[in-house]
Amino acid sequence: MYTLGIETSCDETSVAIVNKRRVLSCETVSSLNFHKKYGGIIPEIASRKHLKFIGKVTQSSLKKAKIELRKIKLVSVTQGPGLIGSLLVGVSFAKALAFSLGVPLLGVNHLFAHLFSPFLNRKKFNFPFIGLVASGGHTEIYRVSDFDRIEVLGKTKDDAAGEVLDKVGRFYGLRYPAGPEIDKLFQEELVDKNLFRLKKKEDLSFSFSGIKTRAIYIYQELSKAKKIKALDKKIILSSLQYTVINSLINNLTKALIENKINTGVCGGGVVANSYFRKVVSQIAKKRGVKIFLPEINYCQDNAASVAGIGEYLYQKGYKSSYQLTPFLK
């Protein structure tokens, strides 16, 4: 069954064709370049660009998959969370497409689509598992009994993991999004473990705003004294990334132990981080657990994950009405 997925929650306009979790095409155009000078995503620009790109991206996805439109049997679309104007473009387009083809429509959760991403192009997966989503807007940890039975175990009380890297990176002169830039400059041997300490806590929540403020404060102090050097930047940003990534990994490990579950599944932009991937595979080996990560292409927002989870939920009996409306949170 060919499923067409549509993702427009932020700056990526993405359309994919998936069949039995196999990705036949996933075409993505980002409006990132139009936002770069503002240091973050401007919602109005993002929605206008989605409108401009979505028809062409759909055509190119069909062409790449060598599938005719009439062969599509399900349209799956990101319903939320995301930017309202951006979501509206995707949801409206999906409704029109499903209606004109006479096929079912399914609105899916953006965060759960990230959680589905490791299962693309893969044959088997089992429940339950502990899920971790770390992106620019969200940092959450779940107990997943099935994709329609997801319990939130913890989430961030303030900033998301990617958001901290992006916001601090901007202060240190990096371009938006700074997450991938910090990943490149990260050097484990430069990490000062005392620079950013997180408070010990009992639950599975996250909190990054304290270390964000500290990183910005250090920058201001050093630049006031005109003392900031390239090496300082590397030390500070490597130490920041170290703390953020280890906080994610500590909570993931804690959730696996507390719930006596031996499978972890991670998704979202931050999961592309090289240090995260390295430590996760070390932990998996050390603890004898399985941790599934998405292919690098499917860490960021993408329609293949949306089509994949849509196909899965449709086969469990879910579908949406044409009254489908986006949600923000």
Interface residues with ligand KG4 (CB under 6 A) are 10, 135-137, 162, 165-166, 177-180, 183, 268-270, 272-273, 300-301
Least gap, CB of 288 to ligand KG4 (angstroms): 27
Cα dihedral across residues 214, 218, 219, 221: positive or negative? positive
- List binders of Zn ion among 291-310 (CB under 5 A): 301
The residue among 301 and 311 lying less far from Zn ion, judged by its C-beta, is 301
DSSP H/E element including 115: helix 110-116
In the complex, least distance from residue 14 CB atom to Zn ion, rounded to whole angstroms: 11
Q: Does 135 bind Zn ion (CB under 5 A)?
A: yes
Taking the least distance from each CB to Zn ion, the nearer of 50 and 233 is: 50
Q: Is 248 exposed, middle or buried (CB count within 10 Å of its CB: 0-12, 13-18, 19+)?
A: buried
- Binding segment (CB under 5 A) for Zn ion, from list 128-136, 149-157, 179-187, 238-246: 128-136
Q: Which is nearer to Zn ion, 135 or 239 (CB)?
A: 135
Tokens representing 175 are 């371009």
Nearest approach in angstroms of CB 328 to ligand KG4 is: 13
- 123: three-class secondary structure by DSSP: coil
Residue number, 161 or 228, with CB nearest to ligand KG4? 161
Say if residue 312 is exposed, middle or buried (CB neighbours under 10 Å; 0-12, 13-18, 19+). buried
Find which of Zn ion, ligand KG4, none residue 62 binds, CB within 5 to 8 Å per kind.
none
CB of 117 to ligand KG4, least distance (A): 9
| Contact of residue 179 among Zn ion, ligand KG4, none (CB under 5-8 Å per partner type) | ligand KG4
Residue bearing tokens 């069949």: 19
Name the residue among 273, 279, 190 with its Cα closest to residue 234.
190
194-223: contacts with Zn ion (CB under 5 A): none
- Smallest distance from ligand KG4 to CB 8, Å: 12
Strands 72-80 and 139-146 turn out to be unpaired
CA nearest neighbour of 12 among 123, 161, 100, 113: 113
Using omega within 30 degrees of 0 as the cis cutoff, is the peptide bond preceding 177 cis?
yes
243 vs 302, which CB is nearer to Zn ion? 302
**Least CB distance to Zn ion at residue 299 (A):** 9
Determine if the peptide bond prior to 128 is cis (ω within 30°): yes
**Residue 23 binds what, of Zn ion, ligand KG4, none (CB under 5 to 8 Å, by partner type)?**
none
* Cβ 279 to ligand KG4 shortest distance, Å: 13
Spatial CB neighbours of 81, under 8 Å, sequence gap ≥ 6: 9, 109, 110, 111, 137, 138, 327, 328, 329
Tell me the closest approach of the beta carbon of residue 300 to ligand KG4, in angstroms. Answer: 3
CB–CB of 111/221 below 8 Å? no
Q: How far apart are CA 247 and CA 161, in angstroms?
A: 9
Which of these segments, 129-137, 142-150, 226-234, 257-265, binds Zn ion (CB under 5 A)? 129-137
Residue 313: contacted member of ligand KG4, Zn ion, none (CB under 5 to 8 Å, by partner type): none
Q: What tokens appear for 304 in the block?
A: 């293949």
| Residues in 63-122 that interact with Zn ion by CB under 5 A | none
Nearer to ligand KG4, 103 or 244 (CB): 244
The residue ranges that bind Zn ion (CB under 5 A) are 135, 301
